[in-house]
Chains A and B, each alone.
Chain A
Amino acid sequence: MNENAIQTRNLTKYYGKTRGIEQIDLTVPRGDFFGFIGPNGAGKSTTIRTLLGLIRPTGGEAKIFGLDIINDRERILSHVGYLPSETSFYPGMRVRDVLKLSAELRGRSFRRSKQPLPRSSHGIATQPRRSDNRCEATLSPWEHDCSETARLLCERLQLDPARKVDELSLGNKKKVSIVCALQHDPDLLILDEPTSGLDPLMQREFFEILRERSAGGTTIFLSSHILSEIQHNCAHAAMIRDGRIIASGSVEDLSRTGARRVSIRGQMDYGALSSVKNLRILSDGADFLYRGDVQALLAVMANGTIRDVSINEPDLEEIFLHYYTD
Chain B
Amino acid sequence: MTIIKHELRQNRTSFAVWTASIAFLLIVCVFLFPEMKGEMDSMGNLFASMGRFTAAFGMDRLNFGTLIGYYSIECGNILGLGGALFASLLGISALTKEEKDRTAEFLLTHPVSRMRVITEKLAAVFLQITVINLLILILSLLSIALIGEDIPFKELLLIHGAYFLLQLELACICFGISAFLRRGGAGIGMGLAAAAYFLNLVANISESARFLHWLTPFAYCEGADIIAAGKLDGGRIAVGTTLAVIGITVAYRHYVRKDIR
Bound-state Cα–Cα, A56 to B101, Å: 21
Contacting residue for A55 out of B2, B10, B261, CB 8 A: B261
Residues on A with C-beta less than 8 A from B107 are 105
In the bound complex, do residue B102 and residue A105 qualify as a contact, i.e. CB atoms below 8 Å apart? no
Q: By the criterion CB–CB under 8 Å, are A88 and B102 in contact? A: yes
Q: Does B2 contact A88, Cβ atoms closer than 8 Å?
A: no
- In the bound complex, how far is the Cα of B114 from the Cα of A55, in angstroms? 12
Residue from the list B6, B102, B104, B111 in contact with A107, Cβ < 8 A: B111
Chain B residue contacts of A101, Cβ below 8 A? 2, 6
Contact, CB under 8 Å: B109 / A91: no
What does the 1/0 interface line of A47-58 toward B look like (CB < 8 Å)?
001001111100
Q: Judge whether A78 and B102 touch: CB under 8 Å.
A: no
Q: Are A54 and B105 in contact (CB under 8 A)?
A: yes
Interface size class of B (residues with CB under 8 A): 20 to 34
Is B108 on the interface with A (CB-CB < 8 A)? yes
Query: Closest CB-CB distance, B258 to chain A, in whole Å?
Result: 9
Residues of B within 8 A of A102 (CB): 106, 110
Q: Give chain A interface residues in 67-96, CB to chain B under 8 Å.
A: 73-78, 80, 82, 84, 86-92
Output the nearest chain B residue to A78 by Cβ-Cβ distance. B111
Q: A90-B10, A106-B111, A107-B111 are in contact. Are A56 and B257 (CB under 8 A)?
A: yes
Closest residue of B by beta carbon distance from A50: B259
Given contacts A54-B259, A55-B260, A55-B261, contact A90 B101 (CB under 8 A): yes
Most buried by A among B3, B112, B113: B112
Q: Shortest beta-carbon distance, B115 to chain A, in Å?
A: 10
- Is A155 an interface residue when CB atoms closer than 8 A count as contact? no
- Interface flags, B127-143, vs A, CB<8A=1, else 0: 00000000000000000
CA distance A49 to B260 in the complex (A): 9
- Complex: how many Å from CA A52 to CA B113? 12
Query: Across the interface, do A84 and B111 meet the contact criterion of CB distance under 8 Å?
Result: no
Mark each residue of chain A from 102 to 142: 1 if its CB lies under 8 Å from any CB of chain B, else 0. Answer: 10111100000000000000000000000000000000000
Chain A residues 274-305 with CB under 8 Å of chain B are none
In angstroms, Cα B2 to Cα A222, docked, is: 30
Interface residues of B in 68-91 (CB under 8 A from A): none
In the bound assembly, the distance between CA atoms of A107 and B110 in angstroms comes to 10
CA–CA, A105 and B105, complex, Å: 13
Q: Would A105 and B101 count as touching, CB distance under 8 A? A: no
Complex interface: chain A residues within 8 A of B242 (CB): none
The one of B2, B108, B109 that contacts A104, using a Cβ cutoff of 8 Å: B2
Q: Give the residue of B6, B10, B103, B108 whose beta carbon is less than 8 angstroms from that of A53.
A: B108
**CB neighbours of A84 from chain B (8 A):** 105-106, 109
Residue of A whose beta carbon sits closest to that of B97: A90
Q: Closest CB-CB distance, A193 to chain B, in whole Å?
A: 13
> How far apart sit A105 and B261, CA to CA, in the bound complex (Å)?
21
Alpha-carbon distance A89/B97, docked complex (angstroms): 12
Closest CB in chain B relative to A50 CB, distance in Å: 9
Q: Which chain B residues lie closer than 8 Å to A55 at the CB level? A: 259-261
Q: Is the CB of B109 within 8 A of A89?
A: no
CB distance from A98 to the nearest CB of B (A): 8
CB atoms of B10 and A105 under 8 A apart: no
The smallest beta-carbon distance between A311 and chain B, in angstroms, is 46
CA gap between A15 and B182 in the complex, in Å: 14
B102 / chain A contacts, CB cutoff of 8 Å: 86, 88
Q: Which chain B residue lies CB-closest to A104?
A: B2
In the complex, chain B residues whose CB is within 8 Å of the CB of A91 = 10, 101
Tell me, in angstroms, the Cα distance from A98 to B106 when the chains sit together: 10
B159-199 residues at the A interface, CB under 8 angstroms? none
Contact A105 B111, beta carbon cutoff 8 Å = yes
A292 CA to B109 CA in the complex, in Å? 47
Q: Smallest distance from the beta carbon of A229 to chain B beta carbons, Å?
A: 22
- A sample of 27 inter-chain contacts (CB < 8 A) reads A15-B261, A49-B261, A53-B108, A54-B105, A54-B259, A54-B260, A56-B257, A74-B111, A74-B113, A76-B111, A77-B110, A78-B111, A80-B109, A84-B109, A87-B106, A88-B102, A88-B103, A90-B106, A91-B10, A91-B101, A101-B6, A102-B106, A102-B110, A105-B110, A105-B111, A106-B110, A106-B111
5 closest A-B pairs by beta carbon, nearest first, are A88-B102, A78-B111, A105-B110, A77-B111, A55-B259
Q: A54-B260, A88-B101 are in contact. List 4 more A-B contacts (CB 8 A).
A: A53-B108, A54-B105, A102-B106, A106-B111
